[in-house]
């Protein structure tokens, strides 16, 4: 059922199920929409750089556009690391508070995306190391149903049968269970590469490590995750 990846460039067979499950939690890529800025241009029509320029220029309200644009993805990334919805929400909020407070120090050596993910990653790793016994929440069997607009996955746009939905949900649960058995650094590199689609350079910038280390961690993380999934796929185990 699971085919081992053929080299670092290949996307493992399990990555699609993981991506769809976490994308469901992230919601729409650009939030729920913003009122036009200055009566003409909405935040969604501005690039990340435009919004950063506005914030650094003293327009604090422009930061709302960045929050709406990234909060779903940041939440899904953090949840993928700790698998606890309440804590993931708190850490997402902490990420944006820290980002806002440090906007003046953002010097554009990297993209705003990688800079923001680095803050989120540092916040999450700090949390994990301070709470080694983080309570892992149970898989939400209601995934695929509307939950007041949060953590929802509308199955209609995927045009899948209820049986396929259940099968995909179970696969997602197995993958998330296996992810928790990886070290936090391996878990992080898998999420950034397989879910966010970051390049090795972007991951290196986000994690503050050499690209060679990124490639090594990704190789061993994929290998370990593949083995864990094959164990749970074996009916004799």
Mean pLDDT of the chain: 74
Residue 2 lies in a domain: no
Residue 25 lies in a domain: yes
In the predicted structure, residue 194 carries a pLDDT above the cut 50: yes
Residue 1 lies in a domain: no
The number of folded domains in the chain is 1
Instruction: Give pLDDT tens digits for 126-142.
Output: 998 887 544 444 334 33
DSSP string of the chain, one letter each residue? --PPPSSTTSPPTTHHHHHHHHHHHH-STTTT--PPBTTTB-GGGS-HHHHHHHHHTT-GGGHHHHHHHHHHHHHHHHHHHH--HHHHHHHHHHHHHHHHHTGGG--SSS-HHHHHHHHHHHHHHHHHHH-TTPPPPPP-TTTTS--TTSS---GGGGT--HHHHHHHHHHHHHHHHHHTTS-HHHHHHHIIIIIS---HHHHHHHHTS-HHHHHHHHHHHHHHHHHHHHHHH-TT-
Domain that holds residue 41: 15-233
Residue 6 lies in a domain: no
Residue 136 lies in a domain: yes
Band of residue 172 on the pLDDT scale cut at 50, 70, 90: confident
Residue 212 sits in a domain of what CATH number? 1.10.1740.10
> pTM of the predicted model, to two decimals?
0.65
Residue 4 lies in a domain: no
């Amino acid at each position: 059922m699971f085919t081992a990846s053929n080299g670092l460039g290949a996307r493992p067979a399990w990555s699609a199920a993981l991506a769809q499950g976490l994308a469901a939690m992230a919601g729409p890529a650009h939030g729920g929409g913003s009122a036009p800025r200055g009566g003409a241009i909405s935040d969604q029509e501005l690039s990340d750089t435009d919004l950063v320029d506005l914030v650094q220029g003293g327009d604090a309200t422009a930061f709302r556009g960045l929050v709406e644009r990234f909060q779903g993805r940041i939440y899904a990334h953090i949840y993928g690391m700790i698998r606890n919805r309440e804590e993931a929400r708190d850490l997402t909020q902490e990420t944006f508070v820290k980002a806002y407070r440090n906007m003046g120090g953002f010097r554009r050596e990297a993209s705003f995306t990688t800079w923001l993910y680095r803050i989120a990653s540092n916040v999450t790793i700090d949390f994990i190391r301070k709470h080694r016994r983080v309570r892992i929440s149970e898989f939400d069997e209601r995934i695929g149903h509307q939950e007041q607009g949060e953590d929802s996955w509308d199955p209609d746009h995927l045009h899948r049968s209820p049986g396929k939905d259940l099968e995909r949900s179970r696969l997602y649960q197995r993958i998330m269970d296996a992810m928790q058995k990886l070290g936090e650094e391996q878990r992080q590199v898998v999420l950034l590469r397989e879910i966010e689609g970051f390049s090795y350079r972007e991951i290196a910038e986000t994690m503050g490590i050499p690209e060679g280390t990124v490639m090594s961690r990704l190789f061993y993380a994929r290998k370990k995750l593949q083995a864990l999934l094959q164990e749970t796929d074996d009916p004799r185990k």
